[in-house]
Structure 1
Amino acid sequence: MAKGGSRTGGRGRDAAGTRRGAASGSAAKAKPAKPRNAQRPQPSPGPSPTPPAQPPMPTTFLLGAIPGATPGKWIDTWKERMPRTSLELVPLAFADQRQALVEGEVDAALVRLPIDKEGLHVIPLYDEVPVVVCAKDSHLTAAAELDTADLVGEVLIVPQDDVLGIRAPGTEKPRFAPPADTGEAIATVAAGVGIVVVPMSLARLHQRKDVEYRPLLDGPASTVALAWPAERTTPAVDAFVGIVRGRTANSSRA
């Protein structure tokens, strides 16, 4: 056997001296490298939640109104904007205004302050000037305006449905029971007995040919407001609130 000859048995090498089978085995085991910035696939978002459906507009909107309230212009606007929902005006006595709202007799109401605001939303609308109603031939009619000092010595009649709670120093109390309401009190004044102090709208409501009224400059004003139950803010209520606040038909609620 010649020395220095290569062995043909065992593992063979190729011409480059690389063992056959080693490279192929390594290639078989190699895995493709993941890109460094690869991100895990995110789950597709589910369907967006459906907003709660708004209750439909009712066929009738019940608006309460205390005596003397003048919602005529708002009612006209309502008729133009809400032709499919009729507005029904419900007369309310001052003493019953809160009860009508709490018990659901009306959807909203024009009320006279003060009112217990618990459980209610209340928006003041305007203040009414107090006036002195007196007989047509009373000396008080000589002035265009009056102060409480001008009422000294007069018999001050306070009806049972009084909304001002006025107490004028120097006036006298009548010697008869308080009249049941403002209308009866003004009828008593027309007979030449005493005076009565009421908001101007009530004086106009009970206007008679035999009485006159004059503004009382330092008398208590009366505030008329819109009120409704806080838990029943319906689309119809929202629509009426927008009207009294002067929003146009296309303006936002804000």
Structure 2
Amino acid sequence: MTGSDIPSSFRLAYVPGVTPTKWVRVWQERLPHTPLELVQATAADATGLLVDGAADAGLVRLPVDRSVLSAIPLYTETTVVVIPKDHVATAAEEVSLDELSDEIVLHPLDDVLGWETLPGRPAFERPATTADAVELVAAGVGVLLVPQSLARLHHRKDLTYRPVREAPESRVALSWPEAETTPDLVEEFIGIVRGRTVNSTRGRVAADRQRPTEKAKDKAKDKRAGGSGGARQKPAAGGRSGKRTAGRSGQGGKHTGGPGSKRGKPRGR
């Protein structure tokens, strides 16, 4: 991939409760010249952003439509019940669904747990959002079951939460539009969330970014090697004649007046 082929930015959608901070940090270290834009989206709207091209990939809650989106499950969240701090359930480390049978259990319209049968007693009206439901819990109207990350997101000093056994759970996944070939920047982000190193064969974009630096290092290395031992040097004075004389002497060649020569002065007549 050439520099001109690399998009100017990468758009990542994420839903409430998901914290992409650690992956964004790795992205900034590996691809400092390719900005990552975070796009906030509700759980219901996130997949639409991906399908419409408003985001390149997204951290979403499953399920998604696998006919139009690819997805890699990342982790499963614990389901908790949000309750007032003076609620009797605070005495236990966790509660069961049966223990909520006498409670009014709020069911917001943006619920992400996908209940088949909601435990407890239903409220007269469904709250529009999880944030609205949390306000009703604080007012003593009922209790709320949500993924733990949403309980933390909507934390209040007068509320707490406890894990719930046998409750449905929410799974978070990395998703992107289905295509025959996965875009390079999406592939790069997949590698980051999966823990691949920068030298991985699939880390193509980061590798391309680093190649000029590596080539420069190799070139400098070759230059240093050529300067110290690769350049031709003049032979020492007498070096060639000394080698030839020694070679001929060793091969039984004729001498031309050396110390061992048998020829002397010519005899006078």
| Of 145, 151, 154, the match for 1:197 | 145
Looking at secondary structure, tell me which structure has more helix per residue.
2
- TM-score, structure 2 as length reference: 0.72
| Of 126, 130, 145, the match for 1:178 | 126
- TM-score, structure 1 as length reference: 0.76
Q: Which amino acid aligns with 1:180?
A: A
**CA contact under 8 A between 1:131 and 1:215: conserved in structure 2?**
yes
Q: Kindly report which structure 2 residues correspond to 1:89-168, keeping only aligned pairs within 5 A, or say none.
A: 89-166=38-115, 167-168=117-118
* Matching residue of 1:9: none
Matched position secondary structure for 1:165: coil
1:233 Cα offset (Å): 2.4
Matched position secondary structure for 2:121: coil
Q: Kindly report which structure 2 residues correspond to 1:1-254, keeping only aligned pairs within 5 A, or say none.
A: 56-166=5-115, 167-169=117-119, 171-175=120-124, 177-231=125-179, 233-253=182-202
State the Cα deviation string for residues 56-104 of structure 1 (Å, max 9, x = none): 2222110000100111110000000000011111011111121111000
| Runs of 4+ more than 6 Å apart | 52-55
* Matching residue of 1:37: none
Alpha-carbon distance in structure 2 between the residues aligned to 1:240 and 1:193? 43
- Over aligned residue pairs, what C-alpha RMSD do you find? 1.7
Q: Which amino acid aligns with 1:118?
A: S
For structure 1, list consecutive stretches of 5 or more residues without a partner in the other structure. Answer: 1-51
Q: Which amino acid aligns with 2:87?
A: S
Alpha-carbon distance in structure 2 between the residues aligned to 1:129 and 1:61? 30
1:250 Cα offset (Å): 0.4
Q: Which amino acid aligns with 1:221?
A: E
**CA contact under 8 A between 1:132 and 1:195: conserved in structure 2?**
yes
**CA contact under 8 A between 1:130 and 1:222: conserved in structure 2?**
yes
Alpha-carbon distance in structure 2 between the residues aligned to 1:159 and 1:54? 47
Percentage of pairs with the same residue = 49
* Matching residue of 1:39: none
Which has the larger Rg? 1
Alpha-carbon distance in structure 2 between the residues aligned to 1:55 and 1:124? 32
Alpha-carbon distance in structure 2 between the residues aligned to 1:192 and 1:234? 49
**CA contact under 8 A between 1:74 and 1:244: conserved in structure 2?**
yes
Alpha-carbon distance in structure 1 between the residues aligned to 2:112 and 2:101? 21
**CA contact under 8 A between 2:83 and 2:137: conserved in structure 1?**
yes
For structure 2, list consecutive stretches of 5 or more residues without a partner in the other structure. Answer: 204-269
State the Cα deviation string for residues 162-188 of structure 1 (Å, max 9, x = none): 00023344x11112x211110110111
Alpha-carbon distance in structure 1 between the residues aligned to 2:186 and 2:194? 12
1:252 Cα offset (Å): 1.8
